[in-house]
Amino acid sequence: MSSNLVKDPHASSSRTERNETPATLQEETPQTNAPNETTSAVEGVKEPVYPGSKLFWVNIGSQNTPQYLHLSHDLAKKDKSAQENKRQIFDGFYNCDVPVAILKIETIRSDTTRKELERERRVLTELEVHENFIRYIAHEWDKDFEYIATERCLCSVADLLDQDLMKEVPMKNEILEELGAKEILRQATRGLDYLHQNNFVHRNIKPNNFLIKEINQTGDSSHRFVVKITDFRLTRKRDSSEKLLSGSAASQGWEAPESRNVEKVLSKKLDVFILGCFYHYVLKSKHPFGDNANSRQTNICDPNYSVYKGNLPFVPNKNDNDEVELEKLIKSMLKFEENKRPALEKVLANAYFAPINDYNIYSHDKPGLCVIVNQENFEDSELHCSRYGSSKDRDTLEDIFKKLGFNIEVHKNLSSFDLKSEINSLATRNFKDYGCLVVCLMSHGIENAIVCYDGRFVNTNELKYEFSLNNCPTLYGKPKIFIVQTCQGLLEQSKTGIAPIANPPTIFSRLRSLPRVGYAHMMGRLETPSSVNLAKKDTPNYTEEQIKEMKILDDARRNPQIMDFLTIKATGPGFVSYRESGGSWFIQALCQALSDEYLKSTSQKDLVNLLTSVQENINGFAVGQRVDQTMQWEACLTKYIRFCRANTEGTVIEFTAE
């Protein structure tokens, strides 16, 4: 191997560096110049992959006849034919002390190799750290070869389940005991879903490309081992222009019926099919389309093959609910027509994976509906000032819930009659295909009541109770979330105590000047009633017989009418809430927490638990101010609420008041 150094073939002419390493890793690992250091981790000598390299592989041979330690377990198979065309992956170290896997690629081998290398580098360098995504460490090159280093893992899923290996996988029993089939499948799916969220299609899913890594029990992970997706040679990005399939497919029959069809548009559903094959392999240690790799392609492309008729080699134990649910899930993933396969968000939301104590929001056709009522202007502007900055709250709510997969409906400046009519009409809809309802009410207000365009008050509880069992049975057992951005009184939390606002204005103030706080929601005189009697409904929307036909009556009789409600309010009873030109403290703080937890983070707090973070965000707005704000929530829930980023964003409909 030549040690003559050349410029990075992928970089501009001004680049002369011969390695690429994340800055965080460079800070964590000081450079070490130890070209021939004996390692105690394995019997061998650490040697740089070329003179001056920060990457070291392990020579277990002699100096004259080097033999470098491989990490590719396929090379240990008894079947020598399985060793052909495997990637050269070596055990090694970065800076002599960070364990890594080193992928060695001959750069002048072919145009195909060059394209695969570009794809691999793009995915590894573009995407951020994710628990179930292999971590990129460094990229180096010399005249003839390029080297990509990623974090070292223990083994692949294939290694765990393949009985044909010549040697046993270390810690195999511990890994299988802790993870089990369900956790392997869940984490593998999360890794692939992370790719899909970033608009990449993997196309090369197979047991060898899911690796097992041992981690410390720190952070939000409760597991000792995690599953990580790797090998992005065939991965392609979907963009605004339609991209057709190239016709290439993964080896050994890990492909979909359309993989080799050059007239097909690149789709994430291709990955879903191959992942279904992987699910079956984890359960039975065999491919659902046959043990012979050569015949699998024929079977996969045959629409009359037994799998497509619902006959899987895997036969579940009918007394095991998990196995029954998993069989249904695999069958749905292994559909010949790609448009009949579920998106990965539906797969992860399947009852097989869903915690017993979580609402199954994403197992429905539509995760939810978010209705936003934004009272920004009022008929009597002298009595009720315009709520400047409220449009920012509306836009932020739209953006967050759209990305969570919710359809959005926006109403603006409704009169009291129109608001009650819209809510009543909403309660009569059929929510069979929805997993959740969110109603956002933004206006001036008093305790438990908001002001409408005509200056009249409407009780928020009256609106909420329209969605009780009798009135809206298709939302029974599903979370109903009310987000209320209003003031609830005249009290103000200052840094020195609690006191009524000095010189209270008539009903609602105009702008109130505060340092940095552009606007405050101000309340009416203290004699303004702080509660409104609930209107009694003469007849419910549905009769008992109709509810019985929906097969929920027996279960409903065991629970109260008012259940599965979560009400989140901007402030506590009697207190004002604050709004700036960039939006209200409460709505902006709430949306930031939702984004951080469900759109960016790998952790999955339930919504009620997450609300403590919302209060922390509100406290951040109050820094440097002479006032504070404390939000409030009321939970009448039977399970936990957890959102996630949807692969398909929701739609937005804006209604204009007549």
DSSP assignments along 338-394, one per residue: GGGSPPHHHHHTSTTTS-TTB--GGGSSB--EEEEEE----S-TTTS---TTHHHHH
CATH 3.40.50.1460 maps onto the chain at 361-655
Could you tell me which residues come within 8 angstroms of residue 502 by beta carbon, excluding any fewer than 6 positions away?
none
Q: What is the pLDDT of residue 543?
A: 59
Looking at residue 191, its pLDDT comes to 93
The CATH T-level fold of domain 155-348 is Transferase(Phosphotransferase); domain 1 (1.10.510)
Measured CA to CA, the distance from residue 477 to residue 552 in angstroms comes to 9
Over residues 619-644, the pLDDT tens digits come to 999 888 888 999 999 999 989 999 98
More confident residue, 423 or 34: 423
The residue type of 85 is N
HSE (side-chain half, CA atoms, 13 Å) at 422: 21
Instruction: Using DSSP bridges, classify how beta strands 55-59 and 44-48 pair: parallel, antiparallel or unpaired.
Output: antiparallel
Share of the chain above pLDDT 90, in %: 43
Q: Is the pLDDT of residue 449 over 80?
A: yes
pTM: 0.63
Residue 554 has pLDDT above 70, yes or no: no
* Pair 149, 100: CB distance under 8 Å: yes
Within 13 Å, how many C-alpha atoms sit on residue 417's CB side? 3
Of the two residues 534 and 414, the one the predictor is more confident about is 414
pLDDT > 80? residue 582: yes
Q: Note the pLDDT of residue 509.
A: 33
Q: Is the pLDDT of residue 80 over 80?
A: no
CATH architecture of 19-151: 2-Layer Sandwich (3.30)
Question: Rounded to an integer, what distance in angstroms lies between the CA atom of residue 39 and that of residue 16?
Answer: 31
Cα four-point dihedral sign 412, 416, 422, 423: positive
Q: What gap in Å lies between CA 25 and CA 55, rounded to an integer? A: 13
* Dihedral, CA of residue 159, residue 72, residue 60 and residue 18, to nearest 10: -140
Q: According to the model, what pLDDT value does residue 44 have?
A: 78
Q: In the chain, where does the domain assigned CATH 3.30.200.20 lie?
A: 19-151
Summarize the confidence of residues 177-204 as an average pLDDT. Answer: 91
Say which residue the tokens 């006959």 belong to.
311
354 or 332: which leads in pLDDT: 332
Which DSSP string corresponds to 23-78?
A: HHHHHHS-----TTEEETTTTEEEEESSTT-SEEEEE-S-SSS--BPB--GGGGBS
pLDDT of 508 above 80: no
Phi, then psi, of 123 in degrees rounded to 5? -65, -45
Whole-angstrom Cα distance, residue 125 to residue 104?
A: 17
> Given a cut of 90, is residue 349 above it in pLDDT?
no
Cα separations in angstroms, 299 against 268, 270, 291, 292 = 21, 16, 11, 10
pLDDT: which is higher, 137 or 600? 137
How much is the pLDDT for 518?
37
- To the nearest whole number, what is the mean pLDDT of the chain? 80
Per-residue confidence band for 320, with pLDDT thresholds at 50, 70 and 90: confident
Q: What is the pLDDT of residue 189?
A: 95
Asked if residues 255 and 274 have their Cβ atoms less than 8 Å apart, the reply is: yes
What DSSP line would sit under 416-453, residue for residue? HHHHHHHHHHHHTS--TTBS-EEEEEES-EETTEEE-T
Weakest-pLDDT range from 63-67, 310-314, 614-618: 63-67
Mean pLDDT of 576-580: 92
Average pLDDT for residues 464-483, to the nearest whole number? 91
Proportion of the chain above pLDDT 70, given as a percent? 76
pLDDT at residue 386 tops 60: yes
Give Cα 619 distance to the centre of its chain: 27
Q: Which CATH architecture has domain 361-655?
A: 3-Layer(aba) Sandwich (3.40)
Residues 254-293 pLDDT 10s: 999 998 888 888 899 999 999 999 999 998 888 999 988 7
Q: How confident is the model at residue 240 (pLDDT cuts 50, 70, 90)?
A: low
Q: How many CB atoms lie within 10 A of CB 518?
A: 15
pLDDT at 242 over 80: no
Q: Quick check: 521 and 509 in contact, CB under 8 A?
A: no
